[in-house]
Copies of this chain bind each other. A is one copy, B any other.
Amino acid sequence: VVLQIIVPFKLEGAKSRLSPALSTEERRLFALAMLHDVLQEVSGIGQVTILSRPGLKGPYPNLDPNIIESDLGLNDAINSLLEDRQKEGLQSDLLVVMSDLSLITRKDVEGIMSTPGDVVLSPGRGGGTNMILVRESRFRTCYRGLSFLKHRDLASELGLEVGIYASYRSGCDIDEPDDLAEVLIHGHGRAKMLLEKLGFELCEDKRGKYARRLP
């Protein structure tokens, strides 16, 4: 029984909230770089599958991920996997890891796996859910808005025990220009290298602390 790891990924219109800092092409490259960092950390721990909109050319063949292409929205796509598992009575765990968790390390994957619970939630800053470990396939995801509370409440309604794995690194999804500083400070992979190549550097001034681009 192998852990199945799902990494949802969207290349089209990727990371639009970063548009004040990065061009469309740069955002695509950055999204792919973060995907690489995530795949790197989760590979070898389970059977890794990228869940993508149709058209993704298999990236990072050396990390050997499966690809599932789906036209469905994020929740529908994951929940159809959960429904299938429920019907088949599959006992293996399903771990959903967001593709923009550029800071995570293998320790975070091990951390969530060693946390008890029918469903283990790893919160993201601002009420999100950055990783979910589903050990009971009756569970369904509801990624949107304050999803951490929705996931916690849904699990309770279903009579499932909820575990929480809260980590600095898995709590940092990289969505907005201010998040780029986190990659420069705490990153370790291709996303950090790409930002440095694009001329980003850390800066502190009256506005605060942030990543700025060299002129």
Interface residues of A (CB under 8 A from B): 123, 125-128, 145-146, 148-149, 166-172, 178, 181-182, 185-186, 202, 204, 208-210
Q: Are B208 and A123 closer than 8 Å at their CB atoms? A: no
How far is A210 from B128 in the complex, measured between Cα atoms in Å? Answer: 11
Q: How far is the CA of A86 from the CA of B170 in the complex (A)?
A: 37
Q: Are A186 and B166 in contact (CB under 8 A)?
A: yes
- Docked complex Cα distance between A200 and B210 (Å): 29
Q: A125-B125, A125-B172, A125-B182 are in contact. List 9 more A-B contacts (CB 8 A).
A: A123-B185, A126-B182, A126-B210, A127-B185, A127-B204, A145-B204, A146-B209, A168-B171, A171-B171
- Nearest residue (CB) in B for A128 is B209
Contact among B166, B167, B171, B185 for A148, CB-based, below 8 A:
B185
